[in-house]
Amino acid sequence: MADKDFIPTPRLLDEEARLAQERRDKISRITLEIEQILLREDITMGELGEVMDMFNARAHAVFSQTKLKIIKQNYESS
């Protein structure tokens, strides 16, 4: 059966909707936390730019470490 012939069940659609809502809720929670930090720290737009640059660099490092960890686990388990 080709993918174009696949018809999702109501249960699958409900699960996808639930996961999408959880993702939106998580993003909203993180956004609110960042907003609270910005209000508490009273930083300038320039400082915010520096913070975002640092955050992006650290996020990339974390994602890279996580990917390497998963690759290592997969290699060791095979």
- Domain ranges, residue 30: 6-42
Question: Would you write out the chain's pLDDT as a tens digit for each of its 78 residues?
Answer: 456 788 888 898 899 999 999 999 999 999 999 999 989 998 999 999 999 999 999 999 998 999 888 888 888 887
The model's pTM is 0.61
Amino acid at 65: Q
Domain count, the chain: 2
Residue 28 lies in a domain: yes
| pLDDT at site 2 | 54
* CB neighbour burial string for 20-52, b if at least 16 within 10 angstroms, e if fewer: eeeeeeeeeeeeeeeeeeeeeeeeeeeeeeeee
- Residues 50, 75 share a domain: yes
Question: Are both 49 and 75 inside the same structural domain?
Answer: yes
pLDDT at position 4 is: 76
In a domain, 12, yes or no: yes
